[in-house]
Structure 1
Amino acid sequence: MSLAIRLATVYGTMFLFTGVYLPFFPVWLKSKGLDAGEISLVVALSLFLRIVVSPFFASLADRLGDRRRVALWLAWASLACAGLLLMAEGFGPILLIALVLNAVFPSISPLVETIAMRARIEEGMNYGRVRMWGSITFIAASAGAGWLLEWTAPSVIALCFVAALLCNVAGAWLLPEDAPRKARPHAPRSRFADVLEIGRHPVFVFFVLAASLTQATHAVYYAFGSLAWQAQGYSDMVIGLLWATGVVAEIVLFYISGPLMARIGAVRLVMLAAAAAILRWTVTALDPPVALLFVMQALHAFTFGAAHLGAVQFVAQAAPPRLAATAQSLYAAMASGVIMGLVTIGIGPIYEALGPHAYFVMAGAGAVSLAGAFMVGLRWKGEVLAAEDEGEERQEEHGH
């Protein structure tokens, strides 16, 4: 089995769980008796927990030189958490299990992204055509879980979690083993030092903030998009088609992304995503005709897809191989944790006051992201932002 097929299978099994979790975890929480405040607390705390946990596991994988083994540990831990959810009752136990689950499962993604981007750089693998299988299985999982909920109780969602994460364990076994690294004579540093080494570089910080803010412009859409469209009189069928349009457009971009990533480059991909966000959310805020709304949904290919492609390409180029997973996890923690969490919390009162016009705030965030990406483009020309070898970096430190 080729490496591309193995990684496509890994992405597919990972997003089976995500496709059930994102749309239907709140539905399951409500069925367990949690109120709206408790549900929002579970979701928000889960986002912020990734800030610490994901970089820790990624740095551990970099230190061990064995990302496959760490990914397998995390996959088994995720499956165990899903099994515990089958028996959990009450807010406290559910919160505790959900926090652990949301600490270990998202930590798998940066490890897989690191392996995939190295395969793209070193072997010429078409990353987009591999990654798109995650989007395809996301749609299949969401549709399948929704169909199950049409004729059975919400408790089936926890069973879907277990089934999806069992597939994820099987997928993790397909990850390739890292090439063995030569032992170095110097004493190992703390994992925090690894995080600090790449995370303190101004260019890295500016880029991660710009790309993360572009992803955070989806906060109103993710949290209130369906509610806003219902209030504007759209049927559930039309709303479902609008969501599907965005994901299908994303899949198309991933399919053709090989030449785009090579020609456009990481920074300009994020600039393209930010510009598309300004257009998409400005028009959406104006309650456009449904035909134009479908066109705006197709821009999801850029607002999400181009931003994601640009970010993983930047991290793969800017971080040395020994810090690759650590750097990917820092971006993931910021994009899916810190920035998205803060914007999601802050957008609630804004949406309550402005309704769909809250999308104008998201367009403004896109403008800030565009300016940040432009600044990065002025300073970064594709070079590695940290020493290629740990010993080399230590020599530089002693020289100073």
Structure 2
Amino acid sequence: MFAKNARPIAWPLFFFYFFFCAMIGVMMPYISVYYKSIGLTASEIGRLMSTFTLSGIIIPHFWGWLTTKIGLPRRILQLAVIGCFIALLPFNWTNQFETFWLLTCVMALFYSALLPMTDALVVRSIRYLNVPYTRIRVGGSIGYVVAVVGAGFLIEHFGAWIVIPSMCAFLSLTVITTLFVKEQEYEKHKTKHTTSFISLLKEPESLLFFGLAFLAFMSHAPFNVFFAVHLSNANYSGDQIGLLMALGVIVEILLFLFFGNLIKHYHVVHLVALCFVVGIIRWFLVGWFVSSIWVLAFTQLLHCITFALFHMVSIEQVRRLFPERYAGQGQAMYSAFAIGLGGGLGMVLTGYLWEWAGGEWAFTASSCTSALALIILLVNQKR
């Protein structure tokens, strides 16, 4: 999978993604099921989940600055992972919304920076190796599949209480993998640069990209927070929910493994348009045809386009729009504005919409968000 010279760098990062995304594979689909089992309301669940993403608006910038200032990415990554783990442990011993919210805020200070920091570290670490980013990132997809299937099975047979201990177990393994990550310091640039990050950010192409990414992650909010609840309300078992969640990520893995260079052969506008067209279809079907397992299976196959393909295009766009000197800041901005603000705002609105109108209309709103993004993209191409 990796050449001999790349293995010492690639494998530790691969397994970091594996265990950390396994933790996410338990948290994102199932922690809402756990919260519901202890009596929290949909709006409370939406506010708790949005804290993780809303924190991504500011926090990644701090960690990016700290890494640049100190110049020790591995040490900073270890600090963030350990802090995240320590903040997660008390989740095992409370069932009060206020306590969960406080603990979530503390955990989010570390959690929201981990994937942006790792993405920037990977892109920088493999720049002289013949290893595509997607081949390392696929470790996260594999870990997610393992966790989402395993957690679905455990919840079915032991109950929702198993969610928090499972998250703790995977996060502890993530901490261990950081001990094997090779130190990759930022390169020192002695030459002066006349172009600033702000000027690059103000470019029309950059503004359009971040705006579309914002809408893309907002459209995924009902799926990220309430998909498992949506299926549970339709009387699907924990095993069925886990397998349906895994199906989408399995197709994502195939895309990451074998089509990592796909985006180099097609125009970026066509790929992004495809993501939004598929998003319109996917979210509408999830909302109104939840009773059909075959329709749901079809929508999960579309996950490789609405999420994986869009993420691949986004990483390439950040690399292209921001030179290496500003790559970390570009990745932090992508995480902050798109994943943080877009996803977080979407989760808050989804929680209230879910209580007011139900799951069908929450996913219909996602479909409309994808349609809005497609319209904005097409209108900008005519200018």
**Higher mean C-alpha displacement, 4-13 vs 296-305:** 4-13
Unaligned runs of 5+ in 2: 1-6
Whether the 8 Å contact between 2:43 and 2:352 is mirrored in structure 1 is no
Q: Which moved more, 1:346-355 or 1:201-210?
A: 346-355
TM-superposed CA distance for 1:119, in Å, is 4.6
Matched AA of 1:46: F
Q: 1:358-397 to 2 correspondence within 5 Å? A: 358-374=362-378
Match of 1:306 among 304, 309, 314: 309
User: In structure 1, what is the Cα distance between the partners aligned to 2:21 and 2:92?
Assistant: 20
| 1:43 alignment partner, SS class | helix
Q: Give the corresponding residue for 1:12.
A: 18
- Cα distance, 1:29–1:343 mapped onto 2, change above 3 Å: closer
Q: CA deviation at 1:175?
A: 2.8
Q: Answer yes or no: is the 8 Å Cα contact 1:219–1:347 preserved in 2.
A: yes
Structure number with higher relative contact order (C-alpha < 8 Å, ≥ 6 residues apart): 2
CA distance in 2, matches of 1:163, 1:99: 20
Q: Which aligned pairs between 1:267-278 and structure 2 lie closer than 5 A?
A: 267-278=269-280
8 Å contact 2:92–2:164 — kept in the other structure?
yes
TM-score normalised by the chain length of structure 1: 0.80
Amino acid of the residue matched to residue 248 of structure 1?
I
CA distance in 1, matches of 2:101, 2:157: 27
Q: Which residue of 1 aligns with 2:4?
A: none
Equivalence for 2:133: 127
Three-state SS of the structure 1 residue aligned to 2:180 is coil
Change (3 A) 1:284 1:156: closer
Matches within 5 A, 1:343-354: 343-351=346-354, 352-353=356-357
Of residues 83-92 and 331-340 in structure 1, the stretch that sits farther from structure 2 once superposed is 83-92
1:140-151 alignment, distance < 5 Å: 140-151=146-157
What is the SS of the residue equivalent to 1:107?
Answer: helix
Change (3 A) 1:30 1:284: closer
Residue number in structure 2 paired with 1:327: 330
CA contact (8 A) 2:29 2:227 kept: no
- Give the Cα separation in 2 of the matches to 1:92 and 1:321: 42
Match of 1:23 in 2: 29
Match of 2:370, as an amino acid? G
| CA deviation after TM superposition for structure 1 residue 233, in Å | 6.3
**1:112: Cα distance to partner?**
1.1
Q: 1:337 and 2:343 equivalent?
A: no
Return the offset for 1:167. 1.1
Structure 1 residue 101 displacement after superposition: 0.8
Tell me the CA shift for residue 277 of structure 1: 1.1
Q: Distance in 1 between matches of 2:281 and 2:243?
A: 21
Change beyond 3 A, Cα 1:144–1:94: same
Q: What residue is the counterpart of 2:87 in the other structure?
A: 81
1:43 aligns with 2:43: no
Q: Aligned partners of 2:154, 2:238: CA distance in 1, in Å?
A: 17
- The answer to whether the 8 A contact 1:117-1:312 is kept is no
Contact 1:12 1:133 in 2 (8 A): yes
* Contact 1:135-1:251 at 8 Å conserved across structures: yes
Worse overlay, 227-236 or 268-277:
227-236
1:215 equivalent in alignment to 2:217:
yes
Tell me the distance in 2 between the aligned counterparts of 1:85 and 1:79: 11
Could you tell me which runs of 5 or more consecutive residues in structure 1 were left unpaired when the two chains were aligned. 187-193, 380-400
Conserved 8 A contact 1:59-1:195: no
Aligned match of 2:266: 264
TM-score (norm 2): 0.83
Listed as ranges, the matches of 1:159-174 within 5 Å are: 159-174=165-180
Task: Give me the identity figure in percent.
Answer: 26
CA distance in 2, matches of 1:88, 1:348: 22
* Structure 1 residue 152 displacement after superposition: 4.3
Name the CA distance, whole Å, in 2 between partners of 1:265 and 1:108.
Answer: 30
Q: What is the identity, as a one-letter code, of the residue corresponding to 1:370?
A: L
**Residue 232 of structure 1: CA displacement?**
5.5
2:123 equivalent among 94, 113, 117 = 117
CA offsets 1:230-276 (integer angstroms, 9 cap, x no match)? 56665655444332221211111111222203223655432321122
The answer to whether the 8 A contact 1:114-1:328 is kept is yes
Question: Based on CA coordinates, which of the two structures has the bigger radius of gyration?
Answer: 1
In the alignment, is the contact (CA less than 8 A) between 1:211 and 1:270 conserved in 2? no
Partner-residue secondary structure (3-state), 2:261: helix
- What is the CA distance between 1:328 and its match in structure 2? 0.9
Deviation at 1:129, TM superposition (A): 2.3
The structure-2 alpha-carbon separation of the partners of 1:293 and 1:31, relative to structure 1 and needing over 3 Å to count, comes to closer
